[in-house]
Amino acid sequence: MKFAILGHFIDENHLERLPKEWIHDNLIVSQEFNFNETNGYILGIMLTAKQMMNYPKETVRQKILDAVLFAQNELDVEIIQLGALTTSVTTGGRWLAEQKNYTGFVNHGDSYTTAVTCQAVEKALNLFEKKSFESILAIVGAYGIIGEAVSKTLVSQFSHSILIGRREEKLEELTAKLKGSFETTVDLKTKDADIIVTATSHPKALLGSEHLKENAIVVDVSQPPNLSQEVCQKRSDICRIDGGYVDYPAKYSFSIPGMPVGKCFSCMAEVIMQAMDKQRENHVGSIDLEHLRKTEKWGEKYGFNLNELTNFGKTINLRR
């Protein structure tokens, strides 16, 4: 079962970081990667994160569909992983799964990303000797696909949670699905939080120094990141963690431009594992927590693991 991972440029300089042989007229197409008997590609549409979110939705969706049909018709791909903001502009992947001329499967990869994000939160608390029941959690993008599943998993474990989004009505819908001590807000009220998870479709950095409590931990799942290297440099007390990075077995010759060797995004890992497991099904829209647990089992089976915490690819191992 062949897979394709579909992404886009993170910023204007992204093209320069890609291998020349991946660059074609209207599409980025990698060489074929091999995982045991399972093969696949990385594809990229030529729009930056800002263009993805600011261009008319129909224009962006057409580019996504063109890339997916190319993968289906020219590369024999059967399953597409919607990377970065391609999920946000396709109503969680549901729009693509409904297209009649695409007959393959779609997975946003957010289930395993949620699992790995929750593992990263637990690892970070252990590293800094903090207890969840004594800590305040903030989730930015709390009713998004990842944000909702992270909220369902973590809110009940923390002393209090601050759930942040842009739309009141969506925050109300989220409230009905959760148990525990929490508040919802449309303000970026992260300053009280000991640990922050970001999972937004905001196309650039969002958190400034003024949004961060002393010694705050930020698990930054968003791509593009919501916390910049500049703020990290200014605030040596805070710890930013790359959300959704996993390690994969050294036997696979897979590498992603700009990522440390041996690491990939958990959303990519989910679809590679689904293809290795030959599961012909869609995983779009809200996350099914049963499926999330299945992705964790796949991680154990196929050797994809969160072995260490990193910040912009550099290992974090210092205690404060």
Ligand X SMILES: NC(=O)c1ccc[n+]([C@@H]2O[C@H](COP(=O)([O-])OP(=O)(O)OC[C@H]3O[C@@H](n4cnc5c(N)ncnc54)[C@H](OP(=O)(O)O)[C@@H]3O)[C@@H](O)[C@H]2O)c1
For ligand X, the closer of residues 12 and 134 by Cβ is 12
Measured CA to CA, the distance from residue 274 to residue 281 in angstroms comes to: 9
Q: Please tell me whether residue 174 binds ligand X under the rule CB under 6 A.
A: no
Q: Please tell me whether residue 61 binds ligand X under the rule CB under 6 A.
A: no
Residues 87-106 that bind ligand X (CB under 6 A): 87-88, 92
Residue 291 structure tokens: 């499926």
For ligand X, the closer of residues 44 and 243 by Cβ is 243
Q: Which stretch binds ligand X (CB under 6 A): 56-64, 136-144, 175-183, 209-217?
A: 136-144
To the nearest whole angstrom, how small is the minimum distance from the Cβ of residue 152 to ligand X? 13
Q: Which stretch binds ligand X (CB under 6 A): 34-42, 70-78, 265-273, 276-284?
A: 265-273
Show contacts of 288-296: CB within 8 Å, 24+ apart.
288/111, 289/149, 289/152, 289/153, 291/111, 292/111, 292/112, 292/114, 292/115, 292/149, 293/115, 294/111, 295/111, 295/112, 295/115, 295/270, 296/112, 296/115
For ligand X, the closer of residues 24 and 287 by Cβ is 287
Widest Cα–Cα separation across the chain: 54
Q: Please tell me whether residue 254 binds ligand X under the rule CB under 6 A.
A: no
Q: Name the closest residue to ligand X (Cβ).
A: 144
For ligand X, the closer of residues 29 and 120 by Cβ is 120
Among 30, 72, 81, 223, binds ligand X (CB under 6 A): 223
To the nearest whole angstrom, how small is the minimum distance from the Cβ of residue 129 to ligand X? 26
C-alpha 246 chain-centroid distance: 11
Residue 81 structure tokens: 């992983």
Residues 188-217 that bind ligand X (CB under 6 A): 199-202, 206
Binding mask 104-123 for ligand X (x = CB under 6 A): ----xxx--x----------
Rg (CA), the chain: 19
Q: Which residues bind ligand X (CB under 6 A)?
A: 84-85, 87-88, 92, 108-110, 113, 140-141, 143-147, 164-167, 170, 199-202, 206, 221-223, 243-244, 265-267
